[in-house]
Amino acid sequence: QDILGSLASPEIQTCPFPFLDRLLAEAPVYKDPLTGMYVVTRYEDIGHISAHPELYSNKTTVVVGRHDSPVAQEVARRFADRGFPEMHTLVTNDPPGHTSYRALVEKAFTPSYVKSLEPYIEALVDELIDGMLPNGRANLLPEFAIKVPMYIIADQLGVDRADYDRFKLWSDVTVERNNPLLDPDRELEITDHLIDMQNYLHERAERYRVQPEDNLLSRLVHAEVDGETLSPPALIAIAHQLLVAGNETTTTGITTAMWLLLTKPDLRAAIEADPSRIPTFIEEVLRSHSPVPHMWRVATQASRIGDVEIPEGGVLMLSYLAGNRDPAQWACPADFDVGRKGVRNHLAFGRGIHFCIGNQLARGEMRIAIRRLLERLPNLRLSPDHPEPQFIPHFAIHALDHLHIVF
């Protein structure tokens, strides 16, 4: 095949669209020369793969992880001795295990429960805006967009406000741990932090077992399907996943949405004139700039996608960013169109059995954050004293580097 570039290259990560457009047109299943992974870009192919977990497994850590190394064994020993063994529950799992964990989490994380959180989300958003107001300027990324999802999930997992710094550390080290080139000593340090987190969450969970509260962790402790509840290690693994999966993603959604509004005056005027368009605006933000650029699958047997042979064990990258710009699915995909028909069919939350379980919470947070920022920050604009925000070179997130604003 022709070498068109690699998703591991920082230049392409900073500005991926010309490359992804070429893949869509010339090589819709493309063997990435640097990673050896098969990049799948067509909307239809991504849908097909997502519908067949028996052929394309989510247990990607089996290949990506360092499971046989001495460090990995030491890590596993520490978790087992002082914390809880790590488990595949949702995102790195397949049926039938995935099916039963997912059913239990859905019992706790219901749409009506998420809806009931809205007044509390609005109060939190307002509190953060109150903190920025007197300054007339802010970097919206650390001062607001990081805090909204982090504080919400911390509250939902029963973390006391006094412990937010620890919670932030646990979130950060989990992201850091995904680096395949991590130094072994650092990996052991991270393991110790994560063991602290496991024990913290376990202590909270045991408290809620006796005395339920109306937060997500307590609801998970008491969730029951066919008489089954979550075991302590499964509960901890799921809580950990909720902590990580909703943070950088929602932060990025909020930041990108505000950046688009501040750089497109017509769009902003349309949204300010009719705030009832905020929900569809958000969907178009997620379509055009999916925070999760891709997810991985491992082929359980040899198969064929389009005219490319995928060997057993081959790793696929489902490019949600590309599928959301596939001209076979979307009219004028590069245009930002708030009235786009069928926009909720975008791939930003994935497809099929792993479809994002936090999508309603993320959508609610984004909606409330955008509405209140526009309503409450007068004369809001990008800071003229800072360089234009840029997308950071990163393998696993499509996110801006800052959002300095003045108001």
The residue with tokens 């290259």 is 9
* 138: its two tokens: 């802010």
For residue 370, state whether it binds ligand HEM (rule: CB under 6 A).
no
CB of 153 to ligand HEM, least distance (A): 5
Sign of CA dihedral 147, 151, 153, 157: positive
Single out the residue of 124, 295, 316, 368 in contact with ligand HEM (rule: CB under 6 A): 295
Give yes or no for a contact between 178 and 396, defined as CB atoms under 8 angstroms apart.
Answer: yes
Single out the residue of 5, 158, 291, 314 in contact with ligand HEM (rule: CB under 6 A): 291
Nearest Cα to Cα of residue 26 among 51, 49, 54, 1: 1
Name residues contacting ligand HEM, limited to 94-113 (CB under 6 A): 102
For residue 293, state whether it binds ligand HEM (rule: CB under 6 A).
no
Burial of 161 (0-12, 13-18, 19+ CB in 10 A): exposed
Single out the residue of 357, 368, 369, 400 in contact with ligand HEM (rule: CB under 6 A): 357
For residue 117, state whether it binds ligand HEM (rule: CB under 6 A).
no
Name residues contacting ligand HEM, limited to 35-64 (CB under 6 A): 58
d(C-alpha 272, C-alpha 376), whole Å: 12
For residue 250, state whether it binds ligand HEM (rule: CB under 6 A).
yes
What is the spatial order of strands in the sheet that 381-382 belongs to? 137-139, 404-406, 381-382
Bond before 134 cis per omega within 30 degrees: no
CB of 187 to ligand HEM, least distance (A): 23
Nearest Cα to Cα of residue 84 among 242, 219, 237, 243: 237
Nearest Cα to Cα of residue 87 among 240, 297, 242: 240
Residue 118-157 contact track with ligand HEM, rule CB under 6 A, x = bound: -----------------------------------x----
Single out the residue of 53, 246, 323, 364 in contact with ligand HEM (rule: CB under 6 A): 246
Single out the residue of 55, 63, 72, 91 in contact with ligand HEM (rule: CB under 6 A): 91
Closest residue to ligand HEM using C-beta atoms: 358
Residues lying near ligand HEM in the complex (CB under 6 A) are found at: 58, 90-91, 102, 153, 241-242, 245-246, 249-250, 253, 291-292, 295, 320, 348-350, 354, 356-358, 361-362
